[in-house]
Amino acid sequence: MSTLSTRSGAPVSRLTFGTMQFGGKADASASQAMFDAACAAGINHFDTAVGYTGGASEILLGGMIKANRDDLYVATKVGYQGGASQANIARHFDTCRRQLNEDAVDLLYMHRYDPDTGLQETFSTLAELQSTGAIRHIGVSNYAAWQVMKAQEVARSLGTKIDAIQPMYNLVKRQAEVEIFPMAQDQDIAIIPYSPLGGGLLTGKYASGETGRLTDDERYKARYGLDWMHNAAAGLKSLADDMNMDPATLAVAWVAAHPARPLPIISARSTAQLAPSLAAEGFEMTPDLYAQITALSPTPAPATDRLEEA
């Protein structure tokens, strides 16, 4: 269960809004409309990164948060390009602050693990930013569980800790269940997963012949190109149709309903596209429905691989 909270002390919302499309596929007007819709639905947690849409994501978000800054939780990420050295973190974070027009953020993630930079250098830099009030919480994205634990030991030696992790997680990408989720629960690390809709696969649109990242982007084709994944998406759509619901609502609600209590990141290009994901904010997942959805995809073996004893 997350212990993250806004500056005013409110707990972060059940859903997180990802602003990766701001200034890209969503222009300024569409971005503002989605921000307003997210706030109206009770979302107070917003996620961006220094390089999203060439910096436009942070610039647009920075203008939107000003009126209610203390009631919003703002996360950004650095180090996707250039590594996790002190110099690169400082350079990226200075850019974040300039683009957001903010002196401080609530959560700063290392965007990915850097095997070429010592963890002492990386986390000393983050600890220093935290001690000066430039960041409130420390996060990591796309780290394996063993990488988190190595980093956590360093962070503890510096008098701090890792507060959040951002892994990929959805109905057809469940590897995080094996070690990342148990590790995060043990270490009191908030889980804030991205891609709850599987690049749009779990919306059902590809089964209807529509196009998007899974047809246009080679990385997404490779990531979600297996037949069983498409079969799981078809099963989810069938279940949603029987309930007179949108499959995207079920996909997001399923992620949020995991016993580890993740805070899934939702995103979209327009308010119309966002609406089904937003509907998951108030959706109560029953144990029976959760089990039905879970059964649509293979449950990964436990870390010990002794599945017969699980």
In a domain, 246, yes or no: no
Active site residue 109: no
Give percent of the chain with pLDDT exceeding 90.
89
Whether residue 207 is predicted with pLDDT greater than 90 in this model: the reply is no
In the structure, how many helices (H) and strands (E) does the chain have? 12, 8
First to last CA, the chain: 23
The pLDDT tens digits of the residues spanning 49-80 come to 999 999 999 999 999 999 999 999 999 999 99
Distance CA 239, CA 293 (A): 8
| pLDDT confidence bin for 296, thresholds 50/70/90 | very high
In a domain, 303, yes or no: no
Whether residue 40 is predicted with pLDDT greater than 70 in this model: the reply is yes
Tell me the pairing of strands 164-166 and 73-78. unpaired
In a domain, 301, yes or no: no
Whether residue 245 is predicted with pLDDT greater than 90 in this model: the reply is yes
In a domain, 62, yes or no: yes
Mean pLDDT of the chain: 96
In a domain, 92, yes or no: yes
Whether residue 253 is predicted with pLDDT greater than 90 in this model: the reply is yes
Single out the catalytic residue among 52, 80, 169, 194.
52
Least-confidence region, from 1-10, 87-96, 292-301: 1-10
- What is the average pLDDT across 90-118? 98
Whether residue 287 is predicted with pLDDT greater than 80 in this model: the reply is yes
CATH value at residue 126: 3.20.20.100
For the beta sheet containing 16-18, the strands, ordered from the edge strand earlier in sequence to the opposite edge, are 190-191, 164-166, 135-141, 105-110, 73-78, 45-47, 16-18, 265-266
Tokens 């993630």 locate to: 109
Distance CA 270, CA 249 (A): 16
In a domain, 161, yes or no: yes
How many domains does the chain fold into?
Answer: 1
Whether residue 1 is predicted with pLDDT greater than 60 in this model: the reply is no
In a domain, 155, yes or no: yes
In a domain, 251, yes or no: no
What is the extent of the structural domain holding 34? 16-166
Distance CA 13, CA 11 (A): 6
Tokens 């070690």 locate to: 179
**Does the pTM of the predicted model rise above 0.75?**
yes
- What is the average pLDDT across 23-28? 97
Whether residue 100 is predicted with pLDDT greater than 90 in this model: the reply is yes
Distance CA 76, CA 17 (A): 12
Distance CA 167, CA 186 (A): 16
